[in-house]
């Protein structure tokens, strides 16, 4: 399925989107830079029947940011993984050893 959200037919096609709650309350989740919000947005997309067309339309439209079709767009590129803010440590942090009983 391929639909453009800007025409009448396309708008109807997106009615089944999991993120479409009619209030826009989820927008902050889908455009957040917080890793936990991004993960929640991707989880919502995982159950969406429009996942693939959503991704294709976002890619074609060159969306700069946000979670679209279960994938994260950042500065116009699709990221496999979003790193946390700040520099990575120069020395790997030691593994936390499990306490034995
Ligand atoms: S794939 Fe995600 S962003 Fe796209 S319509 Fe579905 S829930 Fe919304």
Q: Residue 55 domain-assigned? A: yes
Q: Look at residue 101 and tell me if it is in a domain.
A: no
For residue 63, being part of any structural domain is answered with: yes
Residue 92 included in any domain: no
The tens digit of pLDDT for each residue in 23-62 reads 999 999 999 999 999 999 999 999 999 999 999 999 999 9
| Domain coverage including residue 40 | 25-79
Quick check: helix, strand or coil at residue 39?
Answer: helix
Give yes or no for a contact between 49 and 20, defined as CB atoms under 8 angstroms apart: no
The confidence band for 100, taking pLDDT boundaries of 50, 70 and 90, is very low
43 occurs within a structural domain: yes
Global confidence as pTM:
0.77
Which helix or strand (DSSP H or E) is residue 71 part of?
strand 71-74
- Collapsing DSSP states into helix, strand and coil, what is residue 64? coil
Q: Is residue 89 part of a domain?
A: no
Tally of structural domains, the chain: 1
* Residue 10 maps to a domain: no
41 located within any domain: yes
Ligand 1 site residues (CB inside 6 A) read 17-19, 44-45, 48, 50-51, 54, 68-70
Given ligand 1 and candidates 48, 59, 63, which is best to mutate, with the most ligand atoms within 8 Å of its CB? 48
pLDDT level of residue 18 (50, 70, 90 thresholds) = very high
Which ligand 1 atom sits nearest the alpha carbon of residue 20? 8
Average model confidence (pLDDT) across the chain: 85
């Amino acid at each position: 399925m391929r639909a453009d959200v800007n025409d009448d037919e396309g708008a109807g096609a997106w009615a089944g989107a999991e993120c479409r709650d009619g209030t826009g309350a989820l927008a902050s989740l889908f455009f957040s830079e917080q890793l936990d919000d991004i993960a929640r947005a991707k989880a919502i997309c995982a159950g969406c029947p429009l996942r693939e067309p959503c991704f294709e339309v976002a890619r074609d439209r060159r969306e700069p940011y946000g979670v679209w079709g279960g994938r994260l767009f950042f500065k116009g590129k699709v990221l496999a993984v979003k790193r946390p803010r700040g520099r990575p440590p120069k020395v790997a942090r030691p593994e936390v050893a499990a306490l034995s009983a």
